[in-house]
Structure 1
Amino acid sequence: MSKTLGPVKRAFAPWTDSAAKPAIEFRNVTKSFGDFVAVGGVSLSIYEREFFSLLGPSGCGKTTLMRMLAGFEEPTSGEILLDGKPLAGVPPYRRPVNMMFQSYALFPHMSVEKNIAFGLRQDGMGKAEIEARVKEMLRLVKLEPFAKRKPNQLSGGQRQRVALARSLAKRPKVLLLDEPLGALDKKLREETQFELMDLQMDLGLTFLIVTHDQEEAMTMSDRIGVMNHGKLVQIATPAEIYEQPNSRYVADFIGNINLIEGTVAALPGGGTRLEAPAAGLVVETDQAIAGGSAGVASFAIRPEKVRISLDRPAGALDGVNMIAGEVWDIGYLGDVSIYRVKLANGAVMKATVANTTRLVSRPISWDDKVWLSWSRDAGLVLTD
């Protein structure tokens, strides 16, 4: 496994290798509770040393899928394999899998070191080996000075690290994390995301995390599985999920997006034309639509790919990939400003502008008449 420094994670993509064998396999797994289908026919392969995120809204089935892997629930149908071996009938304590719960589930009457040692004692490990393992875990999560403290004497971030150390102490093949950072404040959550990434790479473990936080999944994951109503609707790398969503649902769920409904048709020289008469807009892209057929579709474009200006864009084709509007709202976030622009038909489009200078006043302000424009490769036509 090769590592790189800086923001690029690593050259790691076993899912592109047809000879690679998955560490975890869900084969057409379904889980029903009475008449309610929580997970419906999910097939998924996760590879050794992969950091995989299950992402979706509450109730979409992601935690149920994880609990079946941990052994807390049994599939109604289908099978789950770990290293090629079926897990059916194997109790949770016999699986080389550990789960870190959202609540952390620490023992309040035990010190930090005793919380970490608990599972090792349950397994009958020798005293000297337990002490060495606990010291190793404390060093790993940077909690050596807090070994004798009780959970109520720790901050939320420190309790999260204790729970992580306890989960890692038994050296599982797979670590399952259920909304592990939900109790942390925004800044600490961002810091902990990178710490988890570094820790996972150093230990060489397989991590499966359940989250509804898109930013969390995008930051940490090698791949993301987006779930909706018990089904996996797209599995891809964070960049592919963001830039190449396969449906309106995924495009709308991940990050900010402008979705413009219209009628599409293939262009003679290649590419696609979408006409949205209600908005007074024509979109042309270099993207070829499947089968070259006409029909109703959506043009999806991220706000940061939309240019906003007071003057009509020079050199643009008349009425193509540009539209006039009025600034309705401005959200100032420090690093960027989000402009909500009301179009003639009442619809609203968003444009994001990076605040690259320290100007307090804005060149574009409320109620200004503005133009929005974008390049031919900035957006995506979605037919699903």
Structure 2
Amino acid sequence: MKSLGSIRRSFAPWSDPGAKPYISFENVTKIFGDFTAVDDLSLDIFEKEFFALLGGSGSGKSTLLRMLAGFDEPTRGRILLDGQDLRGIPPYRRPLNMMFQSYALFPHMTVEANVGFGLRQEGVPKAEIEARVAEMLKLVKLEQFAKRKPHQLSGGQRQRVALARSVAKRPKVLLLDEPLGALDKKLREETQFELMDLQQSLGLTFIVVTHDQEEAMTMADRIAILDKGKLMQVATPAEVYEAPASRFVASFIGNVNMFEGKVAARDAGSARITGASGAEILVGNAGDAAAGNTVSFAVRPEKIRVSSKRPEGAVNALEGEVYDLAYLGDMTVYHVRLDDGQVVKASALNSSRASDDPLTWHDRAWISFAPDAGVVLTR
């Protein structure tokens, strides 16, 4: 069986019917006044999983995290951690820690004092604190900065201090609320891989809230996509990208082209879709779409080929004009306006320094794609 995408690690307890979730949201609803932030949501997260809550503003992702942390209580439903109902348990008695976007470091304390603060508050012996702080600073590669104050560090270094402080108490779960939002793009990309390595080294359960799709796709074992308090899909990054459950998910994750039409005919798993302009598309996997259903065929830009001539033997080929293009170095992005008016986005990897079929603005062009290049969506 072919995989939908690259697999970062073999860890996949959610696919085992006998596996017990470590954290469970059971029919959780949270209402603030007349606003429903989370709407009857059920979700399971497994021990040692790196899990991402992904959504736009107002989707309910931060509210979920705050309820798990104990800063808010569900209006209805319950949250379980390792089988224990968390209702009524204050934040400081929950076996988890939360790292905020602001880092909240104490400016008058050194790096090592910041990292050991929680341990001192719990009355841990001095020798053990020193050993644990040294261990954490080595883990985040900040041993040489132990005596510095936060204002003497870069943004990325402050982020690592906050992370070391969060895991120094060895919580069972680490909650990260937009942890990389304050970093520049290059540092953010580097830190994503550092977080992944740290999570696996510590063997903790990480739950990250983010609005950044690339961040969630890079770090998480699974992603929960939220919209207006509802759970839209929970899946691995590859499944979310290659097999979105709805038009919303397909549009929210990455770039996508939607070819709208009706299923004109079914033949086993395949189908023929007819658009409003009369153009036909043959799809290899129509799922549960029945003849006569109005559907969307979602195709990612990198699955579409652009050429000056109709490719020989192409099953799905549509003609148009190059409306716009952008050369990005590693790839070229084309916007092709089809003869029926739809603009299609296609991307081509620049695997060689020169092109045998150069296209520019206003050139006539053909787009083509395989029957299995996309997914049929009925909702």
TM range (shorter): over 0.9
What's the offset of the Cα at 1:255? 0.5
Tell me if the contact between 2:263 and 2:289 (Cα under 8 Å) persists in the aligned partners: no
What's the offset of the Cα at 1:361? 10
Q: Mapping of 1:73-152 within 5 angstroms?
A: 73-152=72-151
Tell me if the contact between 1:257 and 1:300 (Cα under 8 Å) persists in the aligned partners: yes
Letter of the aligned partner of 1:27 in structure 2? E
2:185 aligned residue = 186
Q: 1:46 to 1:269 in 2, by over 3 A?
A: closer
Does 1:275 find its partner at 2:274?
Answer: yes
Across the aligned residues of Structure 1 and Structure 2, the Cα RMSD in angstroms comes to 1.5
Q: How many residues align?
A: 374
Q: In structure 2, how many angstroms separate the alpha carbons of the residues matched to 1:353 and 1:30?
A: 44
SS in structure 2 at match of 1:292: coil
1:376 to 364, 368, 371: 371
Letter of the aligned partner of 1:281 in structure 2? A
Letter of the aligned partner of 2:79 in structure 1? I
What's the offset of the Cα at 1:8? 4.5
Tell me if the contact between 1:49 and 1:205 (Cα under 8 Å) persists in the aligned partners: yes
1:287 to 285, 303, 317: 285
Tell me if the contact between 2:107 and 2:151 (Cα under 8 Å) persists in the aligned partners: yes
Which runs of no fewer than 5 residues in structure 2 stay unpaired?
Answer: 1-5
Deviations 1:241-299 (A, max 9, x none): 00000100000000010012111234235412111133x52111111342624221111
1:11 aligned residue = 10
1:28 aligned residue = 27
Give the TM-score normalised by structure 2: 0.96
Does 1:312 find its partner at 2:307?
Answer: no
Deviations 1:96-130 (A, max 9, x none): 11000011111111111111111111111111111
2:320 aligned residue = 325
Q: In structure 2, how many angstroms separate the alpha carbons of the residues matched to 1:314 and 1:28?
A: 53
2:3 aligned residue = none
Which runs of no fewer than 5 residues in structure 1 stay unpaired?
Answer: 1-6
What's the offset of the Cα at 1:302? 0.2
Tell me if the contact between 1:272 and 1:289 (Cα under 8 Å) persists in the aligned partners: no
Deviations 1:28-64 (A, max 9, x none): 0110001100001111110110000011111100000
Q: In structure 2, how many angstroms separate the alpha carbons of the residues matched to 1:268 and 1:67?
A: 49
Q: 1:109 to 1:362 in 2, by over 3 A?
A: farther
Does 1:241 find its partner at 2:236?
Answer: no
Tell me if the contact between 1:327 and 1:369 (Cα under 8 Å) persists in the aligned partners: yes
Q: In structure 2, how many angstroms separate the alpha carbons of the residues matched to 1:226 and 1:8?
A: 20
Letter of the aligned partner of 2:117 in structure 1? F
Letter of the aligned partner of 1:337 in structure 2? T
Q: In structure 2, how many angstroms separate the alpha carbons of the residues matched to 1:289 and 1:78?
A: 33
Letter of the aligned partner of 1:127 in structure 2? K
Letter of the aligned partner of 1:311 in structure 2? K
Tell me if the contact between 1:266 and 1:289 (Cα under 8 Å) persists in the aligned partners: no
SS in structure 1 at match of 2:336: strand
Regions of 4+ moved over 3 Å: 359-362
Q: Percent identity?
A: 65
Deviations 1:286-319 (A, max 9, x none): 11342624221111000000011011111234xx
Deviations 1:120-149 (A, max 9, x none): 111111111111111001000001111111
Tell me if the contact between 2:269 and 2:287 (Cα under 8 Å) persists in the aligned partners: no
What's the offset of the Cα at 1:362? 7.5
